[in-house]
Structure 1
Amino acid sequence: MRITIREGGPDDIPAILAMLDSSVAWLVGEGRTEQWGTAPLSENRKTVESVARYMDEGVTYLAEADGVPAATLTVTGAPGAYLSHLPPPGEPERYIHWLASDRRFKGNGVGSALLAHAAEETGRAGISLLRVDCYAGADGKLVRYYEGNGFTRTEAYTLANGWRGQVLARRV
């Protein structure tokens, strides 16, 4: 399988939402509904607006497997407003939002390829800090996934609704 990475744009939003929906369906099938719930994210107006807003604020990348959109993430200059209670890092950073893959491509390295690309682009921009946050509940698999891709745990947090998250950082 040949993985290529390209910049995405507004025309890619339907494919990105389909990847998010694929992730939700997979999580539901695994009995892991605490992360993103049970309904397709494409049906959530706030999610659709968030995907578009981060795309406007930063750069969206898509990993394609043999020409088929397989995974996505967006990189901006700051975390989302929901993390405004955390102290700023005290230096320029790049922040990853909405990493998701079409679960048909699970295990083929498309997400890891995107994370490596984001790190490379961060370094090319002269910035040495790349951060991401993720769901930290249940079995902790997602946190370990990021750790396996060179990230280190920094701040843990809990949102008002009880959703537990973890910020991770990677030096590039």
Structure 2
Amino acid sequence: MNDDRRVIRIRPGSPADAPVVLDMLDSAVVWMNDRGNTEQWGTTPYSKKPGGAERVERYMAEGAPHIAELGGAPVGAMVLDSGPSPEMPIAPAGEPERYVRLLVSDRRHAGLGIGATLLAHAVRETRRAGVDLLRVDCWAGGGGELIAFYERNGFVPTDPFLFGAWPGQVLAQRVGAHRGPGKTPESTSKAGPGRR
């Protein structure tokens, strides 16, 4: 018997999902802080940071949000856009791209591959749009654990950057949009056990 409660499904998101995404971001801050990570997102709940709630609402309204669900309940979120946030010191790609502006998973379900499933969906959406380049940026501190997560999911580090004193890393993946149907690049990963 197939247990649908263990299947991660992805649906289009909307501005109505902003409160649940903010809750995930707030709980991610607590989760990181409990593990001694106070540098990535600080110690203030994301919803209480200046501009935090407004940023999420804007991303959900202006970008292409996607919600991961497990047993019908939201457990992750991703927002794709046509480039990096103008708030970040990241150069445009110089070609069409899709950019992961936001990726978060409900840490109560850590280890189920929610983040990896959302990134695999980003690859499909990028390819479906006829675009070859998918990029993301992340925190480069903490021994590079987040960079390693993206590398396991087919991304390659490209440009490091500083956002104030916050060290960041841009990563990119070629998704093979122009390689013809059924052909995928070797760099594309599948979600598996132990993935974010």
TM-score range, shorter-chain basis?
over 0.9
Size of the alignment, in residue pairs?
170
Flag the structure with larger Rg: 2
1:1-172 matches, cutoff 5 A: 1-84=6-89, 86-160=90-164, 162-172=165-175
Distance in 2 (alpha carbons) for counterparts of 1:125 and 1:4: 20
State the 4+ residue runs in structure 1 displaced beyond 2 angstroms.
none
The Cα shift of 1:36 comes to 0.3
Distance in 2 (alpha carbons) for counterparts of 1:12 and 1:40: 18
The Cα shift of 1:44 comes to 2.0
- More displaced, 72-81 or 41-50? 41-50
SS at match of 1:39: coil
- More displaced, 122-131 or 41-50? 41-50
For the aligned residue pairs, the C-alpha RMSD in angstroms reads 1.1
Contact kept, 8 Å, 1:22 with 1:101, in 2: the verdict is no
Contact kept, 8 Å, 2:17 with 2:60, in 1: the verdict is no
Distance in 2 (alpha carbons) for counterparts of 1:98 and 1:122: 15
SS at match of 1:157: strand
Greater percentage in helix: 1
Q: Gaps (5+ residues) in structure 1?
A: none
Using structure 2 for the length normalisation, give the TM-score: 0.84
How many percent of aligned residue pairs carry the same amino acid? 49
SS at match of 1:73: strand
